[in-house]
Structure 1
Amino acid sequence: MSVSLSQEIAPLLPYLRRYARALAGTQKSGDAYVRACLQALVADQSIIDTSIGVKIALYRLFHVLWNATVIPPAGDDGSVSIFEQTAQQRLGSMAPESRQTLLLTTLEGFSLSETARIIDRSEEEVTRLVSAAIEEIDRQTKTDVLIIEDEPLISMDLIEIVESLGHNVTTVARTAGDAIAAAKVQTPGLVLADIQLADGSSGIDAVKEILSELTVPVIFITSFPERLLTGERPEPTFLITKPFNPNTVKAGISQALFFNGADAVAA
């Protein structure tokens, strides 16, 4: 891979890894697909068409390899959660391209035309695939949601989004301490967490403490995604950047609960 192409791709890798993790259901499996993509590029740089834009071309290459390569799922070595095990079972019942288009248009923020280019389909087909994915995922059991967010206006937006999907907001916590206490009082089925909180405390620390006691899916919604996409520790599968599109949050919630599994979601 040439130096210039390598430099253009490098800042895109954290986001491709995020997409791969959400698609595969595990960080280990997702990263294996990303490595395969990069290895293919190193072997033959001509397989990527940069005339359509490096980011679109990279995701298109990943899509081709995803469909053509079978990488064994991550084994249960202690790093695979019950969410990930359930996901591998349930993903088989969902059309692969529906899942891909939903993630590309929401989590990754590609337009319909860009997504169509990535998966080699028409915009009309992409629209149908996204609708099918949402219908499939929205069959999830309703759950209780803990929101960790210190900005009132953002909290209001998140409450509206959560309730529009039929879920119940149990608490809006403005500090790490409040979040930890709320989780002990009422077990959430999903946590939406900011990183930087009102009193200078950390949403990351709050989530670590909560996960030490509970098994619950978490979506980080933050203005500082680089604090989590470091590659130095296990990274969240579900990470949404502020300012967010409400549809992105809806898709993230549906995906998180999809990977969680109905039997693990609070009633």
Structure 2
Amino acid sequence: MTIAAEIAPHLPYLRRFARALNGTQAGGDSYVVATLEALVADPASFPRDIPARIALYRIFLKLWSSMPVNMAASHAGATRAGAVERNLDALTPRPRQAFLLRTVEGFAIQDVAAVLDIDVDAAAALVEQAGREIAEQVATDVLIIEDEPIIALDIETLVQELGHSVTGIARTHKEAVALVKQKRPGLVLADIQLADGSSGLEAVAEILETIDLPVIFITAYPERLLTGDRPEPAFLITKPFQPEAVKAAISQALFFDRRSERKVA
């Protein structure tokens, strides 16, 4: 199979990634074109020992990183609006690359490492650094809906490590709604099966009737969320969870939440 045929299915996604990385459609597309021109000029530069998608992104990022103009181009569109663009500009380049590969492009952490040509631990450290940098820009108050005390404390620790504050820990539907009335959170982390037999899913649905905010479900019963009903599980983590997965989901939810703003002390 020719290189052109191998990379063709991945080009629309590379354009999406380039636009997010560069900050403008025109700027992103120019780097994609430059990548294709580089491949035409030197086909041997295309690695054959790794999957085509990983190879394509690796070549693109090597070219992007070699051009000092990329940072100036990403800030040239000063009239851009929206929390996502502001958050992207605030991230340092290497963590930004790792974060976008992981969250926007959906690469597994092993593949992020392969694209960046680094080891897995280094890739995970970059994603975590991006999470910390995002937290500095969109630090918020978090409500935890979880009836298991030890799990709730673990989640609280993860939230605080990212620089966010916890408004409270609710063990029941009733407690969750009451806590929201006391202090409006910017993010909810919710289990769906609670202490008194009540439903965290129903609690979240009631909360979303009065405020609009991102929700991350952390549950041992993910199949109960696959109903198509609101709230849709845009962010879903299955128990038992990995701490890194929770941190990444928190950063991702806030990063792409266009309502997010810096918390005022």
Q: Same fold by TM-score, threshold 0.5 exceeded?
A: yes
Q: Does 1:251 align with 2:227?
A: no
* Partner secondary structure for residue 140 of structure 1: helix
Relative contact order: is structure 1 or structure 2 higher (C-alpha 8 Å, sep ≥ 6)?
A: 1
Q: Which amino acid aligns with 2:103?
A: L
CA distance in 2, matches of 1:215, 1:98: 29
- 1:99 corresponds to 2:99: yes
Change (3 A) 1:263 1:137: closer
Q: Deviations over 1:15-53 (max 9, x none)?
A: xxxxx9xxx9xxxxxxxxxxxxxxxxxxxxxxxxxx99x
Please tell me whether residue 201 in structure 1 is matched to residue 186 in structure 2: no
Residue in structure 1 matched with residue 30 of structure 2 by the alignment: none
d(CA) in 2 for partners of 1:153 and 1:60? 39
Question: After superposition, what is the alpha-carbon deviation per residue over 1:129-152, rounded to whole angstroms, capped at 9, x for unaligned?
Answer: 435533532322432211100111
Aligned-partner residue type, residue 100 of structure 1: L
2:119 to 115, 120, 123: 123
Q: For the Cα contact (< 8 Å) 1:257–1:265, is it kept in 2?
A: no
8 Å CA contact 1:101, 1:126 repeated in 2: no
CA distance in 1, matches of 2:103, 2:223: 20
How far off is 1:126 after superposition?
3.4
Structure 2 unaligned spans of 5+: 1-15, 21-48, 62-81
Q: Is 2:173 aligned against 1:176?
A: yes
Number of aligned residue pairs: 195
Distance 1:97 1:213, change over 3 A: same
1:263 matched to 2:261? The reply is yes
Contact 1:140 1:254 in 2 (8 A): no
Distance in 2 separating the partners of 1:162 and 1:254 = 10
Q: Secondary structure at 1:263's aligned position in 2?
A: coil
The percent of aligned pairs where both chains have the same amino acid is 48
**Paired residue for 1:138, among 122, 135, 138?**
135
- 1:244 and 1:183 map into 2 onto residues whose CA distance is 25
> Shift in Å at residue 211 of structure 1?
0.9
- What is residue 218 of structure 2 aligned with on the other side? 221
Distance change in 2, residues 1:62/1:179 (3 Å): farther
SS of structure 1 residue aligned to 2:233: coil
Deviations along 1:173-195, one digit per CA (max 9) or x if unpaired, are 11111101111121112111001
**CA 1:110/1:211 → structure 2, altered by over 3 Å: closer, same or farther?**
same
TM-score (norm: length of structure 2): 0.58
Secondary structure class of the residue paired with 1:133: helix
Gaps of 5+ in 1: 1-19, 25-50, 68-84
Root-mean-square deviation (CA, aligned residues, Å) is: 4.0
Mapped to 1, the partners of 2:171 and 2:108 lie a distance apart of 32
When residues 61 and 211 of structure 1 are mapped into structure 2, their CA distance, relative to the original with a 3 A threshold, is farther
Per the normalisation by structure 1, the TM-score is 0.58
Which of 186, 191, 194 pairs up with 2:188?
A: 191
Corresponding letter in the other structure for 1:263 = E
- Distance between the aligned counterparts of 2:53 and 2:237, measured in 1? 18
The CA deviation at 1:156 is 1.2
Q: Distance in 2 between matches of 1:236 and 1:58?
A: 31
Alpha-carbon distance in 2 for matches of 1:197, 1:61: 45
1:42-90 alpha-carbon deviations (Å, 9 max, x no partner): xxxxxxxxx99xxxx79869979xx9xxxxxxxxxxxxxxxxx643664
